[in-house]
Structure 1
Amino acid sequence: MTRFYTRTGDTGYTDLLGGRVPKYDDRPETYGTIDEATSVLGYARAIALSERTRALLIDVQRDLYLMMAELAFAKEMRQGKFHITREHVQRIERETDRLAEELDLPPHFILPGDSAGGAILDVGRTVVRRAERLA
């Protein structure tokens, strides 16, 4: 069974692969935010009406897990173990373009909240943007 605690108390540091770092360090801040985005996308997947949407969200969640693994390793330990490639990014960009064409989106900003699925994806979008600012 997976434990959700370490039994070492909270000293303001966290163990990463390669050593301990302060919890306010950029790496735990960033992968914690990516973890939050992954959970939001999990909620979106749970309420998605289309199997295609669920499959796309699973792919994105897996990519985000890969990013978290990359951040958990000290730079000198990563060496080819985990790597988000340009191909990952291009796949997401292609899917985004395809969906934008299919949905015939308006040329202006959309106020969140027209549907439960759209609203939770907007929450996910803002969490990902926060992760970008931290990275």
Structure 2
Amino acid sequence: MRIYTKTGDEGTTSLVYGKRVAKNDIRVEAYGTCDEANSMIGLAISYLHAEVNWEDKQEFIDSMHRIQSVLFHVGAELSTPSDKEVKWKLTEAHVQDLEKQIDQWDSELAPLKQFILPSGHPTAAGLHTARTIIRRAERTAVVLKDELGSSLVLAYLNRLSDFLFVAARFVNQKCGGKEIPLRIND
């Protein structure tokens, strides 16, 4: 299989089932933004070098890899034309899995008393960046709400941004990254 197909040279691309659309189509923007977030998550976890050590580090990395896999499926759902059947759909369990992990990590963190700046350990900063990219994906996907047939994509993206925020805080706690509070008077 060749990497280049030349089929997009005129500014179009294929959705699932082969329907051709402009590369600036809202569906392409939505799944492309999920892909961007997915790449940022991969970059973020690459900063968890061998010298960064905590007991459940591999479990954390595995949970991030699961998120990356689900994001591919979110992209597939977003790239399926509304008149076609989605080959792999999100379920309520995907959203619940995020909530369960958020609750577990959050229970180990000091309560937030003010806003914090995206910062700290490079993995945490990368997860904060992924969170903002997911927020953009969510804003873009809202345009497709009526075509999606289910609000689970929107719920998943919404919860995923919360998940990434808590994950960033969790990494900072585990890796000694400092949370910088927002300074109101600056």
TM over 0.5, shorter chain: yes
Deviates more, 1:36-45 or 1:14-23: 14-23
Query: Residue 75 in 1 paired to residue 87 in 2?
Result: no
What is the TM-score when the length of structure 2 is the normalising length?
A: 0.66
Contact 1:14–1:20 (Cα < 8 Å) also in 2: yes
| Cα separation, 1, equivalents of 2:106 and 2:113 | 11
Equivalent residue letter for 1:52 = E
Matching residue of 1:64 = 71
Deviation at 1:2, TM superposition (A): 4.8
User: Could you say which structure has the greater relative contact order, defined with CA pairs below 8 angstroms and 6 or more residues apart?
Assistant: 1
Aligned residues with identical type, % of pairs: 39
Structure 1 letter corresponding to 2:9? D
* Deviating 4+ runs (over 3 angstroms): none
Q: Residues 17-68 of structure 1, C-alpha deviation per residue, up to 9 Å, x if partnerless?
A: 2311111111100000000000011112222341121011011111101111
Tell me how far apart the structure 2 counterparts of residues 88 and 27 of structure 1 sit (CA, whole Å). Answer: 21
* Pairing 1:20–2:26 present: no
Taking only aligned residues, the RMSD between alpha carbons, in angstroms, comes to 1.6
Give a deviation string over 1:82-114, Cα, whole Å, max 9, x none.
101111011011111211111224232211112
Quick one: which amino acid aligns to residue 24 of structure 2? Y
Contact kept? 2:14, 2:21, Cα under 8 Å: yes
How many residues were matched structurally? 133
5+ unaligned residues in a row in structure 1: which ranges? Answer: none
What's 1:120 paired with? 126
Of 93-102 and 7-16, deviating more is 7-16
Asked if 1:96 is matched to 2:95, the reply is: no
The higher radius of gyration belongs to 2
CA contact (8 A) 2:12 2:23 kept: yes
Which SS does the other structure have where 2:115 is aligned?
A: coil
